[in-house]
Amino acid sequence: KEVVLLPGDGVGQEIMKGARTVLETVASEYDHEFVFHEHAIGGDAIDRYGVPLPDDTVKACEAADAVLLGAVGGPKWDDMPADKRPEKGLLGIRKRLGLFANLRPVQGFGPLVHASPLKTELVDGCDILIVRELTGGLYFGEPSGRSEDGQSVVDTLSYTREEIERIVEKGFEAAQMRSGHLTSVDKANVLESSRMWREVVNEKAADYPDVTVEHQLVDSAAMKLITNPKHFDVIVTENLFGDILSDEASVLTGSLGMLPSASVRTDGVGLYEPVHGSAPDIAGQGIVNPLGMILSTAMMLKYSFGMEKEAEEIERAVSQTLADGYHTRDLDVEGGKVVDTEGIIGKVIDHLS
């Protein structure tokens, strides 16, 4: 299997090393062969090639079986013009590969339920999957920019019915494979795009009689995610709402650093990346939590390569590492043993081999 690695910026290199080591261990344990090709994206690509998404990178991703991405962005590139910002690399590759569905699972991980800012009984047993639309909405709508006189600015939230349909279907399918409850999040009391979204959800519901559907307004959902997280099973929502709610939902696990994600399309290559960003403030210090990235490789094995068992092995190794009390600095677990990035990768590898 050919895997493209896009470490990107900030802590990207450090976490990618963890992903690679884990995959190499899995390969030797299970007799697979993974071939890795590293390419540039984001600020790193701007520095080296002058653009956030070089053509070479796109071509390599299109030819690969799967893509692993670290993170992009940082203050260094803050004053770049619109088309030379690291984030354009990430948004560009999502769009170019047509990865319209971003799957973000959020689970309480054993001892981590105590690391959550929420009361333990609320998060213990939580298991949510956020299905976020990834290639539409305010992120890509045109026009987007300033008026000629610089006195006003617009961004455009646009969706085609088809774009809404395919992501809503993903939501229903995910709910069907889980406990059969789908929460669709929108702002239908204000936005026309949300009215169409809600209409499509209601139409599709007829095709999935075994799934119970509920609509929530995004403001209300942002509250209920905290007051009653166990209410949720699968959440399906548009791009920006999904961005906000998934970062928020990270509080259920104790650290954003724990969360993996998969960006997929109906078939073909997928892109796997942790939910956290490039964390420039701690980059290069060897202390970043690599588990979100490592769990993303498990999602890759499952979704892109059909290697269910290998994926579960990685998840088990991560759980056991945490159960042994090891964790990185970002987690606040009473009586835990704080180790650095290399340290935690080593523990996971120990449990894998």
Ligand X SMILES: CC(C)[C@H](C(=O)O)[C@@H](O)C(=O)O
Residue ranges of the binding site for NAD(+): 74-87, 277-289
Residue 31 annotated in active site? no
Q: In this structure, what is the dihedral angle of CA atoms 266, 269, 270, 271, given to the nearest 10 degrees? A: -140
Residues 266-325 that bind ligand X (CB under 6 A): 277
Contact 293, 18 (CB under 8 A): yes
Residues 256-285 that bind a copy of itself (CB under 8 A): 256, 277
Angle, helices 239-249 vs 218-227, to 10°: value is 20
Count the residues of the shown chain that bind ligand X, applying the rule CB under 6 A: 8
Can you say which residues are annotated as belonging to the binding site for substrate? 94, 104, 132, 219
Residue 267 annotated in active site? no
Minimum CB separation of residue 22 from a copy of itself in Å reads: 26
Give the containing element (helix H, strand E) for 212. Answer: strand 212-217
Among 186, 243, 330, 347, the active-site one is: 243
Residue 8 near ligand X by CB under 6 A: no
- Which amino acid appears at position 316 of this protein? R
Residues 75-94 that bind ligand X (CB under 6 A): 87, 90
Q: Which is nearer to ligand X, 35 or 190 (CB)?
A: 190
The one among 73, 89, 260, 336 contacting ligand X by CB under 6 A: 73
CA–CA distance, 203 with 68 (Å, rounded to integer): 35
Count the residues of the shown chain that bind a copy of itself, applying the rule CB under 8 A: 54
Find where tokens 């650095």 sit: 340
Minimum CB separation of residue 53 from a copy of itself in Å reads: 15
Residue 247 annotated in active site? yes
Phi, psi (rounded to 5 degrees) for 59: -60, -45
> Of all residues in this chain, which one has the CB nearest to ligand X in the complex?
87
Other CB atoms within 10 A of residue 58 CB: 17
Residue 235 near a copy of itself by CB under 8 A: no
Respond yes or no on whether the N-terminal peptide bond of residue 143 is cis (omega within 30° of 0). yes
CA–CA distance, 166 with 310 (Å, rounded to integer): 29
Residue 9 annotated in active site? no
Q: Which is nearer to ligand X, 246 or 321 (CB)?
A: 246
Minimum CB separation of residue 133 from ligand X in Å reads: 11
CA–CA distance, 336 with 256 (Å, rounded to integer): 18
Residue 309 annotated in active site? no
Residue 219 near ligand X by CB under 6 A: yes
In this structure, the strands spanning 2-8 and 141-146 are: unpaired
CA–CA distance, 332 with 258 (Å, rounded to integer): 13
| Residues near ligand X, by CB under 6 A | 73, 87, 90, 189-190, 219, 243, 277
Catalytic residues: 139, 187, 219, 243, 247
